[in-house]
Amino acid sequence: AQSVTQLGSHVSVSEGALVLLRCNYSSSVPPYLFWYVQYPNQGLQLLLKYTTGATLVKGINGFEAEFKKSETSFHLTKPSAHMSDAAEYFCAVFYGGATNKLIFGTGTLLAVQP
């Protein structure tokens, strides 16, 4: 079955430290990949997406992600965490064909310590 796995439901970093949120997907064909962020009591906001082309994708708020086909991964990074980055982050994959929908991972809650 097609799936999205986010390792680590909770990640805590210090302000100014590197943020690394992991996402792996299962697919026999190249999927289309997204990261969304969700602040408390709000909907999801698109951070970045990968469809085709350059495998390193830059998004909003200083985040970026790299598509690695050999590892079936699409990890999200930010060089220096800010307090305002505290939120829940969801990796999502669009599978075409019979699935034809966006499938989300279970999310990673990022805490940023002062």
Partner 1 sequence: DTGVSQDPRHKITKRGQNVTFRCDPISEHNRLYWYRQTLGQGPEFLTYFQNEAQLEKSRLLSDRFSAERPKGSFSTLEIQRTEQGDSAMYLCASSPGTDRHYNSPLHFGNGTRLTVT
For residue 66, the one-letter residue type is: E
Residue 44: exposure state from Cβ atoms within 10 A (0-12, 13-18, ≥19): middle
Shortest separation between residue 114's beta carbon and partner 1, angstroms: 26
- Which tokens in the block code for residue 109? 């809650």
Site residues (CB under 8 A) for partner 1, limited to 44-103: 44-46, 49, 51, 90, 92, 94, 96, 100-103
Shortest separation between residue 94's beta carbon and partner 1, angstroms: 4
* Sites of contact with partner 1 (CB under 8 A): 4, 9, 32, 34, 36, 41-46, 49, 51, 90, 92, 94, 96, 100-107
